[in-house]
Every structure is written in C-alpha cells, then in structure tokens.
Amino acid sequence: MKSPNKQQQIQKTTKSKVTGDNIFKILTTIIATSALIILLITGYTLVKGSIPVVQNFGVNFFFGQQWNPVEGREIYGILPYILGTLTTSGVALLIGVPLSLGIAIFLVEMAPKSLRVPISYIIELLAAVPSVIYGLWGLRVLRGWMVTYIETPLSKYLGWIPIFSGNPQGLDIFTAGVILAIMIIPTIASLSKEVLTAVPNSIREGAYSIGATKWEVTKRWVLSYGKSGIFAAIILGLGRAIGETMAVTMLIGNATGPSAMPTSLFQSGQTMASLIANGFTEATAGSLKYSTYLGVGLTLLIMSLVINVGAHLIMTRVFKVKGGAIEQ
Amino acid sequence: MTTTTTTITQEEQNNKHVTNDQTQQEIDQTAKMQAINVNVWFGQKHVLKSVNLTVKPNTVTAIIGPSGCGKSTFLRCFNRMHELAPNAKMTGKILLDCEDIYERKIDPVQIRRRVGMVFQKPNPFPTMSIYDNVAAGLKLTGTKNGKHLDDIVKRSLEQATLWDEVHEDLKKPGTSISGGQQQRLCIARAIALQPEVILMDEPCSALDPIATAKIEKLIIELKRNYAVVIVTHNMQQASRISDYTAFMYMGELIEFGETRQLFENPKVKLTENYITGAFG
Amino acid sequence: MMHSYGFRKFKNHLFFIICAICVIIAIIPLASILFEVTKNGAPQLSLTFLTGTNANGGIGPAIQGTLILIGLTSAIGIPIGILSGIYLSEFGNNKYAQNLRTINNIITQFPSIIIGITVYGILVLALGSFSALAGAIALAFILIPIVTRTTEESLKLVPNNIREASLALGAHNWRTTLNVVLPTAKNGLLTGTLLAVARIAGETAPLIMTIMGNRYFFQGLNQPLAALPLEIWKDALQPYPDVQARGWGAALILILIVLIVNIVVRIATRSKMKT
C-alpha cells in the first residue's frame, strides 16, 4: 500500500503529522472511491433486479425467442436481441474496420503533412456528433440512400441469398449496422493511427532500403508489426457498437419476439440497447417485465465488460512489450 | 586512377571559389556513382551545399565530419532515402553508372534495389525470422520459397560472415541475436538483393569494439564485389578501412581524396584541424 | 521482372487511391449531417422557437433543460472528477489506486443506457418520479470517469521539479497541488473537461429513464425535465412535418453547442502548441 510516490518521497524529508496534507490525501482518496461506488451500484442494481426473471425462466431467458407481456402468460426470451446486437455490430465491423484502417494508413503513411491535421480533426468531429443526431440523419437521409442505392439493387440481384431476402424498407438491421459503422470509425481510426504511429521508423527505413513500395512496406511490415494493437482497436470499436443506443433505436425497426431474429439484413430487428430504450419506461417497477429489462441490461453490461477488458489487456501488453523491444 | 582523383579534388577546390558556375561538373565515366552539385533543404534549412563526390567501383569511400555536418543526409541521397523525410527538397544530380537516379522516369524503389543500405542502429525486421529478414527483398519481386531462395539466403549470410553463427537458428526472430550479429544480418539483407553499391550510415556506432572489428573486416571483404560508401564519425575507422575519404563540414564538402593523402597530408586547413582533433 | 515491377507499382497506386477514398467516405456523413441539419434547422430559428414551449411552436424548455443539466452535472461531476484525478496522479502509486484506475477505465466504457437504468433503479424509484436531479446524476456518472482520467493525464504531464520547487519553499503538499500543480495543468484540464461536458450534453439514452421529458419549463429538481436530445428523438418519430421540422431545429441548436465547444477547444489548444 505504502510504496513511495512523488509527493510522499519529497515529504519524507520534512515532518509528517496530522496536517492539512493528510486531510487532503484522505479527502481525495474518499472521493476517488466514487469510481468503485459507481461500479458497485451498477452491478448491484442490475444483478438484484434481474434475479426474478432468471429464476423464472432459467436459461430460457437467454435462449428463448418469445416475448409475451400479457399478465399471467408472461414469457420473455432475449435471444433475438442478443443476436440482433451481434449482427448489427458485425455489420458495423465489416464496413467500419476497412474504412478505419484506410483512414489510419492514409493519415500515418501517405497524407502530406498539411492534410494530416485537418483530416484527423474531421474524424474526431465525427465522434463528437451526438448519437441522436446520427439517428435523425439516418432516419431522414441515410435510410433513403440505403433503400435506393444499396438495398434495392442487392435484393434484386442477390435476393436468393437468405441474408439479402425480403422487401427492403430501410428500417432494418443493415441500416442500423451502417450507422454503427459510421459511428465506430473515429474510435477505430484514431486508435489505429496511434498504433501505426508507434511503429518505429527504423522498420520502415529497413523495408524501403530493400526496395519495397509504400504498399508493401505498409502491408508486410507496418501492419504486421501493429497487428495486435489494431486488433485491440477493433475490439474497442466493437465495444462501442454493442452499447450504442439512440441511432440504432431510430433505425432498426424495433421488432420483438421471434420476428426480431436476424435472419435477413433487410428485416427489422432489435438490439439489447434499443429494446431497453424503447420499452423500459413502460414496465412497472417490480414486475417481471421490469426484471427482464434489467436482465437485458446485465447481459449487455457483461458483454461490454468482457470486450473492453479484453481490449484493455491487449492494449497494455502491446504498448509495454513492443515498447520495450523497440528500445532494445 | 590517381590522376583522376586529383583532378576531382582540384575541381572541388575550384568549385568552392566559383560558386555560381558549378553546373559544369564533368561526368566521370569510370565512376560507379557520382554526386554532382547536390543541394538539400529540410524546410528552410539548407543542409547540403553544392556537394560533389565520386565513388569508384570496388572501393570503400568514407565520409567523415562532425555530427550535424550533413554526411548522413548526403549518404541518403544516394538511394533517395532522404525523400522519406516529409519536407526534404533536393537539387543536383546523382549518377549511377552515368545515369541520373533523380530523373523523372526513374522510380526510387528500383534504385534502392541497386543501392543497398545499412543503418546506424541495427534494424532487422522484428516480425520476421532470420531467414525471412534476408529473403524479404527477394520475396517482394516474387521469388518463391524453395531451393533457389535457400541458396541465396545461405550465400548472403556467408558473405556477411554470419552463417556459421546462425545457420541452426534461421527460424528464430531477427531480433533474437546480439547487436553485432543483427548488424551483419542487416548487411546480409542488403547483399541478398545483389546490389551494386552498399551505403552504410555509421554502422558500428551502436556496437561494441569486438563486433565493430568484425564489421570492419567484413566491409573490406565486401569491396571485392561492391562499391561501399560509409559514413562514420570515427576517423580511425575511416583510415583503417577506406580507400577514399571525404571530409564534410557544415553542409559542405571541404576535401575529398585518397584516404592516406587526406589523413597524412590534408590540403585544407580545416581538414587538418579536424583530423588533429582541434574541434569536432 | 519488369512486368512484376509494373504490377507492384500499380498495386501501390491503387492502394493510395483506396485509402484516399476511405477518407472521403468517412467525411461524407459528417458533411451531409452538417448540411441537412443546417438546411432543415436554420429556417426554424426565431425568438419564439428559442424561448416558446412546444405549444407555441418552440423548444424553450428543451434548451433550458439541457443548460440546467449541463450546469447541474458539471457542478456534481467536475469537482469529483478532478479530485479523483488528483488522487490518482499525486497519490496513485499503490495497489488501491491502480485498481481504481482500472475500474475508472472500465466504467468509462459502460454503455450509457446501463447508467440510465441504474439511476432509475436507485433514484427515480426512491424519489417516486422522474426528475432533473436523476438526469444530472446519471450524466455525472458518465462525466466523472472521463474527467478523472483527463485530470490524471494532465497532472502527470506537470514536471516533478515544479512540485519540488514549491515544496522547497515550504509549501504544504495540498497547497502545492492546488496552487502550483493544478494551475500548471490548467490548459489540459480545461480542454478535457470541456470536451467531456460537450459529450454529455448530447447524451440521450440515460435521459429517457431519468428526466423523461417535459412540455413545460423547469419546475423543480424533483420534477421531470425537458432536454434537447429527447426533443430531437421524440420529434423525429412523429409523422407531422411541423413537428419533424422542430426536431431539426433542436438538432441544429444541439450540434451548434457540441461542435462549437469542440472546435473552439481544438483551435485554442493548437495555437497554444505552436507558440
């Protein structure tokens, strides 16, 4: 506990009594504990609240598809929303990751100096736009683009493939995935940019000196050196995608029950977050339905925790181990 | 050979006096590489000022001078590596077999295969094995794994006097060996492409004396097949291994000539001061 | 060999073009959002729109609500965040602090809607009503970990000799921290905090289950409250063109708040770095 730190070290030489210094330290310690308190409150509320529904349905809560709020015949299974979350996030990654990597590579390896700052700046602004405004724009603008330019042609020519089947309306899993892709670009792009910047220049020089082209240097040396860091950036993007609420809620079509199972991209669906946003306030506290929402919240929280902690572990390892190796 | 060099040296001298009319440098047909009136700027900073230099085939040419005199920058002009710095600007010509490598139609990627480079700090590719470090350049042009590639890797490592030490560890990462071995691996990596010229940028400055001795011996061997240009801040090293020496100061080439002549009987006072340790 | 080289060169150019296209694709949504929000939102702007209630065709309560939320949340969250950050930076060389740091990083990544249902569970149910206070607490839960992190990072940039200089003059630790270290780190702190506040200003999900929305102006900390993000959400889902137009107007106000803070902060920090 008492390993020396900046101020203590210095203080040791002076006197130590019950002074303003100690009070100040204790005060900040107590206040810093707020992070732990937030974590505990959240965990406690969600775990306690979801006990009834898990007791009632057991594993069927996680693997069931039915959604029946009629009292006396209540049945809640959240599989469609878990899968909906995974599918929209998956679509988001499929589209968002290549774009983000392209941006990061452009910024670090190719862009003339004068373009670097303004472009990173624009990418950061993309992160500053509130989710609800993405939702509004998605509803009024992106939805139209999706139906006209992407979904209709796809369903016309590739409609025989199950994931492209159905009649595209624009309020569906695909559109939700695309808006998520746009929203996770800043996360993945700026983290990848940091990872690529951390790749030592001596590697690039070595590669150029044996006559590699810029593309070869990037693909074979820079990306391969930074691959675990980029992987962590992608995982963090995934973490952002699964928890994202408003824009998805406004675009996914909000289906419930078995029809919310994501069988086609052109079908309305539901994610865990959008389910909560849509219905939470209608549930009476203490009811089974209320407990269901908390159960969904807990599931979402656990998924998000696993993803973020995983990414965090990779990130620290990448920057420590590789950092050491660079210095030799 | 000797006569040509002296002419060049005299030209150098003239050059310093008649700064306006330096474009008329003669092309030396016997040179492997020749720098003509090279100027380099980093942003506003003028780091190389009308530098001329001739590199003969099968010789070692050393470039010496205090740090910050522009010798590394100059070396990097020989395979267009300085272009990687975002704000670098260059004028003048660098000839490789009497052909300007800065001509529009010439791609630096091809030049770098003919003019290899070894860097100050050993920089083997950390994500690749020892074998792949040597083979990397050949794989770029589509050489597939197999006997042929194995042979080239073996020959390159042998030429770099590293084969005996690593032939059982070819699958290990390039960074797993000692610093001196890493530097020889980088030399093998350059040799594998069978370049015509090898540039070395203070290749021993990060190494201990024993590793340095090995590299120096190797450099003298390399002369048999290649022209070597080496930048060094170590004057003893230059006098030990080089045939020609160029002394640079503040972005200018002060004196260039046969190594022994330059060290024993420098023509310019500044060179003498530097060699005798009056500054630096 | 020559053919192979030509192909490599071609791939190199193609690669450059593809990366440039990626950048352009990412810029399109931002440009389109700014264009659409301005085009559809700007015609709404008028004094009545900014100050009237929905009944009068305005979004006054939502603007007021968002400003109140920003104020309340900052009042709760910024001091806690800064003091936590001070702890982690100045006294943070022990196991307990390391754990807090990790926890802090983890709650920064919590989906915001989780915070919403948590605060509903502990506060809205206890108070028996949706309320401005619950909204501010929920947003503070989001703000605190961000401010903590920014503070820690900014304070760590303050060189140790500045601390030593102050202590050598006989100043106490806490005086040194408050009077010397904090002011030195002022720019970083200000930047990070402003950006964090701009972020919570646009948060929507946790507001759904905490402040609920209100057609009237502020009626007390324990009463439901209107806010711009909720206004945008609800208006967007209505089929009536005039209501939708109101939503665009609200979006313009919100995006102005968020983007102006962002742009001003970045320009300020950039010019600082240059000089």
Domain boundaries, chain B: 2-122+192-275
- Is the predicted pLDDT of residue C180 greater than 50, yes or no? yes
Nearest-Cα distance to chain C for A324, in Å, is: 21
- Is the predicted pLDDT of residue A321 greater than 90, yes or no? no
Among chain C residues, CA nearest to A106: C19
Residues across chain C: 275
- Distance (Å, whole) CA B252 – CA A44: 73
Closest among B92, A51, A181 to C25, alpha carbons compared = A181
Structure tokens at A109: 């390896």
- Please provide the average confidence, as pLDDT, over all residues in chain C: 92
- Whether residue B5 contacts residue B31, with contact meaning beta carbons closer than 8 Å, is answered with no
pLDDT, one tens digit per residue, over C78-106 is 999 999 999 999 998 899 999 999 999 99
| Integer angstrom CA distances of residue C170 from A10, A227, C165 | 11, 50, 9
Structure tokens at C145: 């970990």
Residue C73 is predicted with a pLDDT of 97
pLDDT, one tens digit per residue, over A170-221 is 999 999 999 999 999 999 999 999 999 999 999 999 999 999 999 999 999 9
A136, A274, A305, A313, best to mutate vs chain C, most C CBs in 10 Å: A136
Q: Is the pTM of this model over 0.95?
A: no
Put simply, the answer to whether A31 touches C15 (Cβ < 8 Å) is no
Domain boundaries, chain A: 78-278+306-327
Residue A123's pLDDT band, with cuts at 50, 70 and 90, is very high
Beta strands in chain A (DSSP E): 67-68, 75-76
C1, C8, C12, best to mutate vs chain B, most B CBs in 10 Å: C8
Superfamily of domain B2-122+192-275: P-loop containing nucleotide triphosphate hydrolases (3.40.50.300)
- Distance (Å, whole) CA C146 – CA C200: 10
Whether B109 has its CB under 8 Å from any CB of chain C: the answer is yes
Q: Is the dihedral of CA C211, C148, A324, B234 positive or negative?
A: positive
B109, B201, B205, best to mutate vs chain A, most A CBs in 10 Å: B109
The tokens 């806690």 sit on which residue?
C80
| Integer angstrom CA distances of residue B151 from B131, B163, B183, B194 | 11, 12, 21, 13
| Integer angstrom CA distances of residue B102 from A177, A251, C178 | 49, 55, 59
Pairing of strands B60-64, B244-249: parallel
The tokens 């700007």 sit on which residue?
C42
Pairing of strands A75-76, B252-258: unpaired
Most confident residue range from A41-45, B166-170, C1-5: A41-45
Report the neighbours of C using a cutoff of 3 or more CB pairs below 8 angstroms: A, B
What is the arithmetic mean of pLDDT over C135-161? 95
Residue B141 is predicted with a pLDDT of 84
- Is the predicted pLDDT of residue C275 greater than 70, yes or no? no
- Whether residue B166 contacts residue B113, with contact meaning beta carbons closer than 8 Å, is answered with no
Rg (CA), chain A: 24
- Whether residue B194 contacts residue B113, with contact meaning beta carbons closer than 8 Å, is answered with no
Architecture category of domain C45-274 in CATH: Orthogonal Bundle (1.10)
Higher pLDDT, B55 or C172: B55
The answer, yes or no, to whether ipTM is higher than 0.90 is yes
Q: Most distant CA pair in chain B: distance in Å?
A: 59
Domain boundaries, chain C: 2-42, 45-274
What is the arithmetic mean of pLDDT over A110-119? 89
- Is the predicted pLDDT of residue C167 greater than 90, yes or no? no
- Whether residue A135 contacts residue C235, with contact meaning beta carbons closer than 8 Å, is answered with no
Among chain A residues, CA nearest to B189: A210
pLDDT of chain B along its 280 residues, tens only? 333 444 444 444 444 444 444 445 678 888 899 999 999 999 889 999 999 999 999 999 999 999 888 999 999 999 999 888 878 899 999 999 988 999 888 888 889 999 999 999 999 999 999 999 999 999 988 888 889 999 999 999 999 999 999 999 999 999 999 999 999 999 999 999 999 999 999 999 888 999 899 999 999 999 999 999 999 988 999 999 999 999 999 999 999 999 999 999 999 999 999 988 876 5
Give B115's DSSP letter: E
Half-sphere exposure of residue A263, counting CA atoms within 13 Å on the CB side? 10
Residue type for position A105: I
- Is the predicted pLDDT of residue C270 greater than 80, yes or no? no
Nearest-Cα distance to chain B for C272, in Å, is: 22
- Whether residue B126 contacts residue B182, with contact meaning beta carbons closer than 8 Å, is answered with no
CATH level 3 topology of A78-278+306-327: MetI-like fold (1.10.3720)
Put simply, the answer to whether B140 touches C8 (Cβ < 8 Å) is yes
pLDDT, one tens digit per residue, over C6-35 is 888 899 999 999 999 999 999 999 999 999
